[in-house]
């Protein structure tokens, strides 16, 4: 294979695109001597392959790469967004439908957060959707303990620093006061660890419920906790600027059309 072959890719990436393992898992398989290319067992993941190469995993032909797919998932509170948890806690991947292929999460929601979590079978798509340069707004319904007013959130809207970490400006609107709690709608364009909870603590408020309702053009809508729905290929292509199946153009995603919201349990709570 020529070194400048534009169709070549690293063997671990090829295994991951076939849905057999993550890249990291694929690299371990290679160093364990479980992968061969054209009859030669590999001992390093630093190897390039093309479509014409014969790749065997544990002596069996590696499947063809799967097309990139995306699913909307309503994550319930109480699940961690990792493949494995060192504390033995239940993960989102333990609770997905059995007919789903191997998937990865696009970003994370922490243990006590709920709502929209995007899942994909494609590592390149995952990275594209997570890039800050994508610029997609993520919206949340947030319930806080306290009686804030517009001035309370001025530091968040200007962008504040918490524990030496700079947070980008957020949009915050107060939807209603409900006894000792207030319901807010919050939007941000980055996903730092526990960003919303830490930002609220910085202005003297405690979050007691947090639910993501949208990630760019993809919305939670009426998905019930634990439910999964695949994003149609046509919709995915339109939003990502795909000119043909599997190929993405480097351009900004289109804005989602404004839709009439449906009546859901989250809306009654002024959806998080």
* Active-site position among 5, 32, 94, 110: 110
- Quick count: other Cβ atoms within 10 Å of Cβ 118? 22
The b-or-e profile of 174-189 (16+ CB within 10 A means b, else e) is beeeeeebbbbbbebe
Secondary structure E strands in 69-156: 70-75, 104-106, 114-120, 138-145
Count other Cβ atoms within 10 Å, centred on residue 38.
Answer: 11
Return the bridge partners of 230, or none.
Answer: 71
- Strand ordering across the sheet containing 60-61: 40-41, 35-37, 55-57, 60-61
From residue 170, give the alpha-carbon distance in Å to each of 128, 160, 173, 196, 221.
22, 10, 10, 9, 22
Helix ranges (H only) for 39-94 are none
From CA 162, how far away is CA 197, in angstroms rounded?
11
Specify whether 110 is catalytic. yes
CB 140 within 8 A of CB 272: yes
The answer to whether the beta carbons of residues 57 and 203 sit under 8 Å apart is: no
Catalytic residues: 110
């Amino acid at each position: 294979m020529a070194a400048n072959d534009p169709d070549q890719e690293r063997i671990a990436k090829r295994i991951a695109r076939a849905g057999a393992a993550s890249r990291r898992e694929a690299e371990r398989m290679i160093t364990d001597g479980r992968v061969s290319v054209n009859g030669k067992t590999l001992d390093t993941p630093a190897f390039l392959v093309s479509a014409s190469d014969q790749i065997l995993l544990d002596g069996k032909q590696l499947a063809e790469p799967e097309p990139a797919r995306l699913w909307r998932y309503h994550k319930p509170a109480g699940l961690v967004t990792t493949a494995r948890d060192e504390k033995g806690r239940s993960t989102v991947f333990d609770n997905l439908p059995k007919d789903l292929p191997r998937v990865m999460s696009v970003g994370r929601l922490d243990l006590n957060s709920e709502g929209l979590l995007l899942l994909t079978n494609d590592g390149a798509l995952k990275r594209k959707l997570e890039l800050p340069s994508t610029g997609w707004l993520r919206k949340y319904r947030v319930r806080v303990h306290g009686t804030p007013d517009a001035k309370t959130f001025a530091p968040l809207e200007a962008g504040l620093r918490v524990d030496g970490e700079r947070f980008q400006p957020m949009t915050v609107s107060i939807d209603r006061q409900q006894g000792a709690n207030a319901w807010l709608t919050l939007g941000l364009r980055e996903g730092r660890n526990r960003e919303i909870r830490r930002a609220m603590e910085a202005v003297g408020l405690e979050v007691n419920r947090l639910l993501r309702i949208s990630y760019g053009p993809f919305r939670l809508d009426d998905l019930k906790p634990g439910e999964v729905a695949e994003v149609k290929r046509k919709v995915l292509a339109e939003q990502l600027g795909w000119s043909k199946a599997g190929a993405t153009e480097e351009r900004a995603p289109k804005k989602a059309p404004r839709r009439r919201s449906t009546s859901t349990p989250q809306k009654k709570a002024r959806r998080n």
